[in-house]
Structures are given as structure tokens and as C-alpha cells.
Amino acid sequence: MTDSFGTRLRRAMDERGPLCVGIDPHASLLTEWGLNDDVAGLERFSRTVVEALADRVAVFKPQAAFFERFGSRGVAVLEKTVEEARAGGALVVMDAKRGDIGSTMAAYAEAFLRKDSPLFSDALTVSPYLGYGSLSPAIALARESGAGLFVLALTSNPEGREVQHAVRADGRNVGATMLAHLAAENTGEEPLGSFGAVVGATLGDLSSYDLDINGPLLAPGIGAQGATPADLPAVFGGVLRNVLPNVSRGVLRHGPDVGALRESAERFAEEIKAAVALV
């Protein structure tokens, strides 16, 4: 793997369409699929999603917590899910939202961004709210491994506002500060930087923010959280081509039927393409 994450992601989005499908094995979804809420159900769920979509979607985003709740056996399923997803041609963004300092942050990074780790992923979600500088070990290892990061910047949950919209002494709020840090990380990178931001698709007009970070914008909130692909131009404007919309339950609820999963993912992908074409 010689290309950077940003290069691989740009290629995948251009060839397969800009869609990220979450792999979120909620207990309720396992039940809807007729599966038990146990490791066997977890494995069947994850394998079905990968088999249905790995050869056609740009990105999978497994939510680590739904695997970790089963302990070591659940983590083993996550390892296999990552391996099979990447073997099938999809990129993997591990949604683990890790954030710490010093050697602990370095250890989190090694778990997901070291090339010989069984959980090695193309990118990792991280939290910068111990200070952006606390992410330095993950940034360094991502560069070394050709991986990427998605940093929580402007998230879709209402509680995030009390931190992300807090105003600093220089008059800029915290979310905007994170975007500025990422723009600096991506300076000069082509065709796309490897250090992205998480920006909710449910947030409405963000024209007061500079979202042009020369990197990808992971946009959760489409489907179950209420946003639609048609909302994307109003939120992201001129940077829409760099947006990676995430859909989880909106696709997953159509399982376990493989054909229905594919049809749902294809429908979202086409709607997103149409929205991007408007800008």
C-alpha cells in the first residue's frame, strides 16, 4: 500500500460513489434480522453486510463499541470484519472515537493504524477534546502507515454544541479551530488530504465555517437521524465533492436479505451522486 489514505479515498469515491455504510450491530438490529444478540448473531450480521456490499461501496465504518461489548470474541469478529471488508475492495474507517494523551494515545493508534495490527484500518475516528495536540501520536502513525484520521469537529448530537461551539479568546469557536488544524495538516496534499473532519449532515447552514480543509468530511446523520441526501448541498456547499455521507440504519434495516441491502445502498448512492451534481 503506497498511496495515501486521501488518494485511496478520492479514487474509491470517484469510482464507486461517495457512500460510507456503517456496520452497527445494535441489539435491536440483530433482533430485526432474526438473530440472537450474541457472538454468533454478531458474526452473521457483519459477514452478511460485508458479503453484500464490499465490492460496491467506497467505505465501511464499523462501530467498534458494538463488537467490544462481547469482549474478546466480539473483537475477534471485528478483526475478521475488517479483513474481509478490505479484501472485498472497500476502505475501512474504524469508528472508535479514541482520544487520550501521550503513550495511551499512541497505544490506541497502534491498535488501529499500525500496518501489522489485526485491526489495521484505512482510517480511524478520533476525539480532539483533550486538545488537538494530544492527537500527535495518531497523526504521526497515520502518516507513517498511509492511513488517515477523522477528527470530531461539528458533530450531529445536540450535546456537542456546549464544547464545539464554545468561543475561544481569539473569537473563534472550538469546532472552527479543529477545522483550521486539519486544513494545516492537509496543506499541499493532492488529490485529497488524509486528515478529515466529522461534520454532521443534520446541522443545516454551515456557511460561517471554512469547511475547505483539503480533506474529507465524514457526514453522519443521513437516514435514521433525519437528514437526506438532498440536504447535503445546503450544509456543505462548494466542498460537497469531498463529503463522505454515512448511512447506517437506513441501509442495515433492509437485511438480512442481500438483495435488499444492495438495493438500499445503491439507492442512497444514486441520491448522493445527484445531490453532488447540483453543486
User: Model confidence over 127-160: pLDDT tens digits?
Assistant: 999 999 999 999 999 999 999 999 999 998 999 9
Statement: residue 70 has pLDDT above 90: yes
Nine cell digits for residue 265: 445502498
Which stretch of 93-107, 177-191, 217-231, 251-265 has the lowest confidence by average pLDDT? 217-231
List all residues 6 or more positions away from 130 whose beta carbon is below 8 Å from its beta carbon: 99, 100, 101
Average pLDDT over residues 231-243: 95
Amino acid residing at 22: G
Q: Per the confidence metrics, is the pTM higher than 0.85?
A: yes
What is the percentage of the chain residues whose pLDDT exceeds 70? Answer: 99
What does the pLDDT read at residue 232? 95
Q: Catalytic: which of 61, 97, 115, 273?
A: 97
Nearest C-alpha neighbor of 269 from the set 222, 226, 225, 234: 222
What whole-number distance in Å separates Cα of residue 263 and Cα of residue 146? 32
As given in the structure block, the three cell numbers for residue 222 are 443521513
* Secondary structure letter of residue 240 according to DSSP: G
Strands (E), the chain: 20-23, 59-62, 91-98, 123-126, 148-154, 195-199, 217-222, 243-247
Poorest-pLDDT segment among 210-214, 238-242, 267-271, 272-276? 272-276
- 273 flagged as catalytic: no
Q: How many CB atoms lie within 10 A of CB 205?
A: 9
Cis peptide upstream of residue 256 (ω within 30 degrees of 0): yes
pLDDT digits (tens, 9 = 90+) for 108-134: 999 999 999 999 999 999 999 999 999
Q: Tell whether the model's pLDDT for residue 44 goes beyond 90.
A: yes
Q: What is the pLDDT of residues 166-220, one digit of tens each?
A: 999 999 999 999 999 999 999 999 999 999 999 999 999 999 999 999 999 999 9
Tell me the pLDDT band of 224, cut-offs 50, 70 and 90.
Answer: confident
pLDDT band at 279, cuts 50/70/90?
A: low
* Coil, strand or helix at 78: helix
Quick one: pLDDT band at residue 223, thresholds 50, 70, 90? confident
Q: For position 2, what pLDDT does the model report?
A: 82
